[in-house]
């Protein structure tokens, strides 16, 4: 075993263990794969973000005067496909999860390191194929691929996109499988289930959804592709197929997929709140249990996407009540985070700003979700900008805030450098303000009746759209700032100490950045997590 | 400044808006509560010394129960209230004006029973329920009138039904809400809600063509439906007069309400639900009759049933052990 | 489940060469592999599950079309294939057993038998598919609605081809894995101590068998008694 | 939860058991073929599925060694079945309840 305790900068860590391209592209180190994912995820986010900018540009004026209608449709499809399948679903699990799960449970790596690398390649290849399809060929179906438009009427490269999504789905399955097996079999001595950090619980719950849901979208997109290629009729009403069946199969995955996006975010927030309040998390068991409850319940609510689709009204009733039920574990989490802050020792560093932003935006976004689950109201706001606003509050206000918060929090561990505190606070505020200015007006536009996926819209919605577009410009700048200073800090940032926040957790007990083997010696866990009182002496040293 | 609500122009609008306001109140209350607590805690308990550690606050099972039960109670209220409004929107009254809608990329065709056709425009009287029977010729569309607070997907391969009762004369947007292809955002139109007097004037102006039912009757003969579904005894198929609105009994022992969905299914997939006492000999007409033709045939078959008394007998769903009506002619 | 892993690090003495660095011992590694494989099979269940759902829905709507179309499948070939696949599961189980004994020649023998049986299955499948092509029973532009059947019989054949096609694809992948195993077995990789790959491929092969066990009655045996 | 190491059969099945299962599977295949030609009313398909399920259980328990696997494996298998049931049954519930609310009008 390498001697990783040699002091100073010359210490061998996972970053300087090898420099060649091969040492990165053929690595099986979960930390390096996390970096590979970070690069991939950032690129796809940038592409999706560019598409978002073009959408907002077009919607600045009511007339569809910037792009052709068809081009606009291709742009919003690009935005959806890139953001959902290649950024949101992968973002936190693939980057932070990959980096942290073994560290947090005291393992040397994930259970299947080569599979982990394979899943990155599948992700990148799938992403490039999908990118090629949406940019070169153009796909105009929206990310939802509703039949029979996608199977019979669209002229876009649906089949190629389907292949890309299938590969990304396979990659997502392999990541989830790896996490499940790792968490089950590779915990360090003494790391019992109830001593596991909440981040790992969140990843565990996420992995369950990835395993159980993703195969269904995989077969669904395959059927869509087969239908286009061979003129099968499984979803084609002309041959007796039912388009609503496609929606069932699609949402059986795609609703839980929303939780693939938000559960990891909640997992990050649980870590941030307790670290910056220096206080054990309030209601550990309830937060952990609610993650698993959400994972299971999320599979029972998909039909709330279909209230106006012509599904049976009784099915609508069942899906509505179950959708409300899934709100409860989410509420439990929010209350517990808030209670954790009570009598804490709260430090306003950037990660906490993001966490607080998350709690606020997620609470608001989640509550607006109740409006969508409410049958009588959901009918009116379905497929309007109200929906768009709601899920952006959850996805952007929730997941991206948490992702950035987590990235700031663990950046010292990942890179061994500190990010600039001043600029990071500025960016947190810019993002928060820009975000609200972008998406809050969309709630109003939606209730007023502006349908989504409109290339041109009636003039009465213009004021709200101008607000939204101006907010989006601010938001865009907000996202560029961290991109710049993270790069900057890799070269010029201050060296990070092992535990810059005085946080508990095994990942902070190993050097920053960690050695390839993660821990000089296999750690032994003796107590419950987030035990700041016991850890006080170490904090004083740190 | 833009308004915050669309106009309230249907009988649903007040109910939906009241529900919305209740949910806004809940949303605002909890958002502000959480927001205020977070801010207050963040200020009050800010870290004073770098090595400071919080004193442990013990977990409280009682608190966990409280904040599980309160949201649970609240969502139950939302559910039942929402379901009530939902049923108002999904169950049309029996005595409505009938409008037949055909959606196609990228236009709405709206037909009145007297054969009057409109394109992307619909004239209806105020204060009278209007029922839409909708079919799509290609992809999924969605009939959405914000001022009326309802929408309904128009799914190809079946009839979709919706209804509304306008309460205020005026001109309101009709949108397609489900993405339907390149010119999705051009698939918009207007609903003209008119006073009864204006509506009568509009009705009397212009010529109305052939009524839907008589167009359907022609198709009935064209497709030779009448050779089997005749009135005379010993026809190979059941007589269709008085079928619509009746509860019919299937070979499987099931009973069904003969509504538009049933009539349509019996044309395109006749083997799916076989009427008791008739062999499965009818061929499928799937792909052989256009959507418009199906609407006309349905209108014709409906016209063979006596008009119900308003709010009448038709609204009752099939009871578990229904009154046996003979399904034979 | 195991309470974490045992504390003892494996760096001490004779770490087996098959042991990957991040596992404590061979057992932990074997356990992780088995769990991983089972979880993978879960995803396979739901993968096929999407098509089973479509099957259930359409069969309920188009019962007569499905029964009529099912009777156009060649029951003899289907039953023969079922027997072949069950037999291949037996040889696969025996291969796994031989692997546990570390009996190199037996492993190769049983794996070869499994491949031959799998190949037989696929060969018969090709014959069946070819018949469908000849009779214009392949859904798509060249489909001709079989005489006396409702038009929706095309839906049955759509599902038939999707389901059996994906099943056959799994068989092809399985045969590829078996060839890889044979190469490794001949190299003498498998010992009583390390035979995880044989075990894992065995699980996969049996799973594919189980899928067919359900496909057979659902596709071939509908409404046979009504003839 | 680990298997006992020095078990004679490594905690797995033995060829004898495999042959027994194989025989049972072939017999059940014959039974299901026979049953398909009987007039059982609505019970033809349920019976065929029950036989298939029995065969699948045997393959899983003996060929796939589920019987001697850790309890976690059984939980994993059960989870897949439960969620498959969610997918099929909830979707089916939509289709089965669609005719419940007749939509009339005039």
Report if residue C116 sits inside a domain: yes
Least reliable range by pLDDT among A78-82, A137-141, A181-185: A137-141
Every domain of chain B and the residues it spans: 1-41+60-209, 212-315
Q: CB A314 to CB D95 under 8 A?
A: no
Q: pLDDT by residue (tens digit) across A392-420?
A: 999 999 999 999 999 999 999 999 999 99
Q: Which domain holds residue A95?
A: 27-541
Cis link prior to B246 (omega < 30° from 0)?
Answer: no
Residue B2 contacts by C-beta under 8 Å, 6 or more apart in sequence?
A444, A448, A460, A461, A463, A464
Which pLDDT score is estimated for A88?
94
pLDDT recorded at residue A321: 95
How close A338 comes to chain C (CA, Å)?
32
B234 torsion bin: left (phi>0), alpha (psi -120 to 50), beta (else): left
Find the closest chain D residue to A319 by CA distance: D90
d(CA A240, CA C157): 13
Number of other CB atoms surrounding residue B66 within 10 Å: 12
Topology at the third CATH level for domain B1-41+60-209:
Immunoglobulin-like (2.60.40)
Overall domain count for chain A: 1
Within a domain: A15: no
At D5 the pLDDT is 40
Give the residue, B213 or A168, on which the prediction is more confident: A168
Q: Are A244 and A306 in contact (CB under 8 A)?
A: yes
Q: Does D18 touch chain C (CB under 8 A)?
A: yes
Q: Does A320 touch chain B (CB under 8 A)?
A: yes
Parallel/antiparallel/unpaired status of strands B160-165 and B150-154: unpaired
Only one residue has tokens 């500025």, namely A426
Q: What's the CA gap between A58 and A50, in Å, rounded? A: 13
Inter-chain touch D93–A315, beta carbons under 8 Å:
yes
Q: Which two tokens stand for residue B163?
A: 């209804």
Distance, CA of D89 to chain centre: 16
Does any CB of chain B come closer than 8 Å to the CB of residue C110? no
Give a yes or no: residue C14 inside a domain: no
Hey, are the CB atoms on A215 and C4 less than 8 Å from each other? no
Q: Of A11, A42, A40, A16, nearest to A29 (Cα)?
A: A16
Residue-level pLDDT, tens digit, chain D, 106 residues: 344 443 444 455 789 999 999 999 999 999 999 999 988 888 889 999 999 999 999 999 999 999 988 999 999 999 999 999 999 999 999 998 887 776 654 3
Instruction: Check whether the bond before A148 is cis (ω within 30° of 0).
Output: yes
Q: Which two tokens stand for residue B16?
A: 């939906």
- Residue D6 counted as domain residue: no
State the smallest CA–CA distance between residue A310 and chain C in angstroms.
Answer: 16
Contact criterion met (CB < 8 Å) for C152 and B283: no
Residue A8 lies in a domain: no
**What is the distance in angstroms between the Cα of A91 and the nearest Cα belonging to chain C?**
21
Closest chain B C-alpha to D33 CA, distance in angstroms: 26
Judged on CB neighbours under 10 Å (0-12, 13-18, 19+), D92 is middle
Q: Helix, strand or coil for residue C32?
A: helix
Judge: B280–C64 Cβ closer than 8 Å, yes or no: yes
Q: Does A308 touch chain D (CB under 8 A)?
A: no
Work out how many CB contacts closer than 8 A connect A with D: 41
CB C43, CB A173: distance < 8 Å: yes
| Residue A356 Cα, gap to closest chain D Cα (Å) | 35
Interface of A with B in 139-198 (CB under 8 A): 140-142, 144, 146, 148-149, 152-154
Give me the interface pTM, i.e. the ipTM.
0.90
A1 CB contacts (<8 Å, ≥6 apart)? Answer: A517, A520, C11
What is the per-residue pLDDT across A425-476, written as a single tens digit (0 to 9) for each? 999 999 999 999 999 999 999 999 999 999 999 999 999 999 999 999 999 9
From B269, B280, B283, residue closest to C62, measured CB to CB: B269
pLDDT for residue A304 is more than 60? yes
Chain B residue with minimum CA distance to D101: B317
| Subunit partners of chain C (3 or more CB pairs within 8 A) | A, B, D
- What is d(CA A500, CA A259) in angstroms, rounded to the nearest whole number? 31
pLDDT in tens, C207-225: 999 999 999 999 999 888 8
Residue A514, phi then psi, degrees to nearest 5: -70, 155
CB distance from C62 to chain B under 8 Å?
yes
* Residues in chain B, pLDDT under 50: 309-329
C202 at interface of D, judged by CB pairs closer than 8 A: yes
Find the mean pLDDT for residues C158-171: 96
Say what the pLDDT of residue B323 is. 36
Confidence at residue B248, expressed as pLDDT on a 0 to 100 scale:
83
Contacts of B64 in chain A (CB under 8 A): 283, 286, 332, 336
C-beta neighbour count of A293 within 10 angstroms: 18
Predicted confidence (pLDDT) per residue in A306-331, tens digit: 999 989 999 999 999 999 999 999 99
Smallest CA–CA distance from D22 into chain C, residue: C90
Task: State how many domains chain C has.
Answer: 1
DSSP-assigned letter for residue B325: -
Containing B189, the helix (H) or strand (E) segment is: strand B189-194
The verdict on A426 touching C (C-beta cutoff 8 Å) is: no
SS (H, E, C) B38-90: HHHHHHHCECCCCCCCCCCCCCCHHHHHHHHHHHHHHHHHHHHHHHHHHHHHH
Mean pLDDT of all residues in chain A? Answer: 92
pLDDT (tens digit per residue) in A454-467: 999 999 999 999 99
Residue D57 resides in a domain:
yes
- Find the mean pLDDT for residues A516-520: 91
Contact criterion met (CB below 8 Å) for A133 and A45: no
Say how far apart CA B16 and CA B19 lie, in whole Å.
5
D4 located within any domain: no
D63 and C92: CB-CB below 8 Å? Answer: yes
DSSP 8-state assignment for residue C26? H
The position carrying tokens 């204006």 is B198
pLDDT tops 80 at residue A10: no
Nearest CA in chain D to B305: D106
Ranges assigned E (strand) in A132-203: none
**CATH superfamily ID and name for B212-315:** Cytochrome c-like domain (1.10.760.10)
Q: Whose CA is closest to A366, among B307, D19, B75, D28? A: B75
Q: Which chains touch B (3 or more CB pairs under 8 A)?
A: A, C, D
Contacts of A195 (CB under 8 A, 6+ apart): A525, A527, A528, A529
Please give the share of chain A, as a percent, with pLDDT higher than 90: 86
* In contact, A205 and A292? CB cutoff 8 Å: yes
> First vs last Cα of chain D: how many Å apart?
68
Q: Tell whether C11 is covered by a domain.
A: no
Q: Is the pLDDT of residue A244 over 90?
A: yes
- For chain D, the domain total comes to 1
Supply the angle between the helices B212-222 and B291-303 in degrees, to the nearest 10: 100
B271 touches C: beta carbon within 8 Å: yes
Tokens of D8: 């004679």
**How does strand B170-176 pair with strand B141-145?**
antiparallel
B141 forms bridges with which residues in the sheet? B154
Judged by CB atoms closer than 8 Å, whether chains meet at C206 and D19 is answered as: no
Residue D66, domain member (yes or no): yes
pTM here is 0.91
Q: At what angle do helices A198-230 and C153-186 cross, to 10 degrees?
A: 120
pLDDT at C6 over 70: no
Does C22 contact A at CB distance below 8 Å?
yes
What is the spatial distance between Cα B79 and Cα A91, in angstroms, rounded to a whole number? 34
CATH, residue A129: 1.20.210.10
Contact of A213 with chain C, judged by CB distance below 8 Å, is answered with yes
What is each CA distance from C219 to A349, B89, C79, C158, in whole angstroms? 62, 42, 11, 12
> 3-state class of C165 per DSSP?
helix
Closest Cβ opposite residue B142 in set A154, A280, A308: A308
Side-chain half-sphere CA neighbours of D18 within 13 A: 22
* CB hemisphere CA count around B6 (13 angstroms): 29
Q: CA–CA separation, C12 vs C6, rounded Å?
A: 14
Which residues of D fall below an 8 Å CB-CB distance to A?
72, 79-80, 83, 86-87, 90-91, 93-98, 100-101
Chain D CB contacts of A299 below 8 Å:
83, 86
Residues 51-110 of C with CB under 8 A from A: 51, 53-54, 57-58, 61-62
B32: Cβ–Cβ under 8 A, 6 or more apart, which residues? none
**Are B126 and B135 within 8 A, CB to CB?**
no
Q: How confident is the model at residue A4 (pLDDT cuts 50, 70, 90)?
A: very low
pLDDT in tens, A28-46: 999 999 999 999 999 999 9
- Nearest by CB to residue D106, choosing from B98, B161, B257, is B98
Of D26, D32, D95, which is closest to C217 when you measure between CB atoms?
D32
CA-CA distance, A385 to A374, in Å (whole number)? 17
Instruction: Using pLDDT thresholds of 50, 70 and 90, give the confidence band for residue A266.
Output: very high
What three-state secondary structure class fits B256?
A: strand
For C139-146, the CB contacts below 8 A with 24+ separation are C139/A230, C139/A231, C139/A232, C139/A233, C139/A239, C140/A230, C140/A231, C140/A232, C141/A231, C146/C68, C146/C69, C146/C72
Q: What is the CATH number of the domain that holds C136?
A: 1.20.120.80
Beta carbons of A166 and A243 less than 8 angstroms apart? no
Q: What is the H or E stretch that residue A34 is in?
A: helix A30-58
């Amino acid at each position: 075993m390498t001697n990783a305790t040699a002091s100073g900068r010359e210490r061998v860590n996972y970053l300087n263990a090898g420099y060649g391209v091969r040492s990165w592209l053929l690595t099986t180190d979960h930390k390096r794969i996390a970096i590979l994912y970070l690069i991939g995820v950032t690129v796809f986010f940038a592409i999706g973000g560019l598409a978002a900018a073009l959408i907002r540009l077009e919607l600045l004026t009511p007339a569809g005067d910037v792009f052709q209608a068809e081009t606009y449709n291709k742009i919003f499809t690009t935005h959806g496909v890139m953001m959902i399948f290649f950024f949101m679903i992968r973002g936190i699990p693939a980057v932070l999860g990959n980096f942290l799960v073994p560290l947090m449970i005291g393992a040397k790596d994930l259970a299947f390191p080569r599979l982990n690398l394979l899943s990155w390649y599948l992700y990148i290849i799938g992403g490039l194929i999908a990118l090629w399809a949406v940019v070169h060929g153009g796909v105009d179906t929206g990310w939802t691929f509703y039949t029979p438009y996608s199977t019979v009427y669209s002229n876009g490269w649906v089949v190629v996109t389907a292949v890309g999504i299938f590969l990304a789905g396979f990659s997502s399955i392999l990541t989830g499988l790896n996490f499940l097996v790792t968490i089950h079999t590779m915990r360090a001595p003494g790391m019992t289930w109830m001593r596991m950090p909440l981040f790992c619980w969140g990843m565990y719950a996420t992995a369950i959804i990835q395993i159980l849901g993703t195969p269904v979208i995989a077969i669904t997109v395959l059927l869509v592709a087969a239908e286009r290629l061979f003129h099968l009729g499984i979803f084609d009403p002309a041959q007796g197929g039912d388009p609503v069946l496609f929606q069932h199969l699609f949402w059986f995955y795609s609703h839980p997929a929303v939780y693939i996006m938000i559960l990891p975010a909640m997992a990050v927030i649980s870590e941030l709140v307790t670290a910056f309040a220096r206080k054990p998390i309030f209601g550990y068991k309830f937060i952990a249990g609610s993650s698993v409850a959400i994972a299971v319940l999320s599979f029972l609510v998909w039909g709330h996407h279909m209230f106006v689709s012509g599904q049976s009204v009784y099915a609508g009733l069942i899906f509505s009540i179950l959708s409300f039920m899934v709100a409860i574990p989410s509420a439990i989490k929010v209350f517990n985070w808030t209670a954790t802050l009570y009598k804490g020792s709260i430090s306003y560093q950037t990660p906490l700003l993001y966490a607080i932003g998350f709690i606020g935006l997620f609470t608001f976004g989640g509550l607006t979700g109740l409006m969508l689950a409410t049958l009588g109201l959901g009918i009116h706001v379905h497929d309007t900008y109200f929906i768009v606003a709601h899920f952006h509050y959850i996805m952007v206000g929730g997941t991206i805030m948490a992702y950035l918060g987590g990235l700031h929090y663990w950046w010292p561990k990942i890179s061994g450098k500190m990010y600039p505190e001043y600029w990071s606070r500025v960016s947190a505020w810019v993002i928060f303000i820009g975000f609200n200015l972008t998406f809050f007006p969309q709630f109003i536009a939606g209730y007023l009746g502006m349908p989504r996926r409109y290339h041109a819209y009636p003039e009465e919605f213009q004021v709200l759209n101008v607000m939204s577009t101006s907010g989006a410009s601010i938001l865009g700048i907000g996202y560029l700032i961290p991109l710049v200073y993270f790069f900057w800090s890799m070269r010029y940032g201050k060296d990070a100490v092992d535990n810059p926040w005085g946080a508990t957790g095994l990942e902070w007990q190993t050097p920053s950045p960690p050695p390839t083997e993660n821990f000089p010696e296999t750690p032994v866990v003796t107590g419950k997590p987030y035990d700041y009182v016991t850890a006080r002496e170490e904090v004083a040293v740190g | 400044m833009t308004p915050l609500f669309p106009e309230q122009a249907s009988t649903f609008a007040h109910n939906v808006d009241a529900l919305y306001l209740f949910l806004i109140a809940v949303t605002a209350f909890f958002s502000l509560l959480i927001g205020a607590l977070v801010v207050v805690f963040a200020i009050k308990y800010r870290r004073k010394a770098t090595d400071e550690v919080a004193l442990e606050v013990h977990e409280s099972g009682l608190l966990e129960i409280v904040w599980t039960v309160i949201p649970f109670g609240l969502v139950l209220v939302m559910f039942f209230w929402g379901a009530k409004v939902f049923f108002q929107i999904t169950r049309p009254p029996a005595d409505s004006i009938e409008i037949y809608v055909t959606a196609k990329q990228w236009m709405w065709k709206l037909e009145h029973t007297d054969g009057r056709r409109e394109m992307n425009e619909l004239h209806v009287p105020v204060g009278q329920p209007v029922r839409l029977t909708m079919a799509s010729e290609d992809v999924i569309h969605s009939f959405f009138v914000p001022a009326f607070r309802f929408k309904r997907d128009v799914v190809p391969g079946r009839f979709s039904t919706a209804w509304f009762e306008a309460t205020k004369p005026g001109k309101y947007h009709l949108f397609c809400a489900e993405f339907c292809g390149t010119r999705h955002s051009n698939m918009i139109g207007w609903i003209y809600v008119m006073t009864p007097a204006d509506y009568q004037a509009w009705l009397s102006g212009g010529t109305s063509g052939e009524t839907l039912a008589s167009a359907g009757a022609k198709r009935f003969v064209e497709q030779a439906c009448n050779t089997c579904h005749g009135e005379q005894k010993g026809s190979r198929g059941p007589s269709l007069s008085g079928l619509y609105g009746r509860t019919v009994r299937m070979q499987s022992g099931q009973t069904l309400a003969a509504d538009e969905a049933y009539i349509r299914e019996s044309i395109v997939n006749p083997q799916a639900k076989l009427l008791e006492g008739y062999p499965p000999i009818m061929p499928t007409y799937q792909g052989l009759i256009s959507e418009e033709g199906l609407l006309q045939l349905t209108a014709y078959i409906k016209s063979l049933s006596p008009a119900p008394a308003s709010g009448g007998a038709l609204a009752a769903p099939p009871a578990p052990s229904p009154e046996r009506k003979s399904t034979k002619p | 489940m195991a309470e974490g892993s045992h504390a003892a690090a494996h760096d001490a003495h004779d770490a087996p060469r098959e042991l990957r660095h991040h596992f404590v011992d061979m057992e932990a590694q074997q356990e992780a592999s088995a769990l991983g494989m089972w979880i993978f099979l879960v995803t396979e269940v739901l993968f096929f599950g999407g098509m089973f759902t479509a099957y259930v829905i359409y069969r309920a709507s188009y019962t007569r079309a499905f029964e009529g179309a099912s009777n156009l499948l060649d029951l003899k070939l289907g039953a023969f294939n079922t027997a072949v696949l069950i037999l291949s599961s037996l040889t696969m189980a025996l291969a796994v057993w031989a692997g546990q004994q570390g009996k190199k020649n037996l492993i190769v023998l049983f794996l070869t038998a499994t491949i031959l049986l799998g190949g037989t299955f696929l060969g018969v499948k090709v014959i069946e598919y070819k018949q469908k092509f000849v009779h214009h029973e392949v859904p798509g532009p060249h489909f001709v609605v079989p005489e006396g059947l409702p038009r929706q019989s095309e839906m049955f054949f759509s599902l038939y081809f999707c389901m059996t096609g994906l099943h056959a694809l799994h068989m092809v992948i399985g045969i590829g894995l078996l060839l890889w195993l044979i190469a490794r077995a001949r190299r003498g990789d498998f010992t009583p101590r390390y035979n995880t790959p044989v075990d894992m491929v065995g699980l996969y092969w049996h799973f594919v068998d189980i899928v067919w066990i359900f496909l057979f009655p659902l596709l071939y045996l509908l409404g046979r008694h009504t003839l | 939860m680990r298997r006992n190491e020095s078990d004679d059969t490594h905690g797995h099945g033995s060829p004898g058991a495999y042959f027994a299962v194989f025989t049972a599977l072939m017999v059940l295949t014959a039974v299901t073929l026979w049953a398909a030609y009987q007039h059982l009313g609505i019970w033809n398909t349920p019976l065929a599925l029950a036989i298939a399920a029995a065969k699948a259980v045997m393959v899983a328990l003996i060929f796939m060694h589920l019987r001697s696997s850790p309890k976690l494996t059984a939980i994993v298998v059960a989870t897949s079945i439960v969620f498959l049931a969610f997918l099929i049954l909830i979707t089916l519930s939509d289709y089965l309840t669609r005719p419940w609310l007749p939509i009339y009008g005039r």
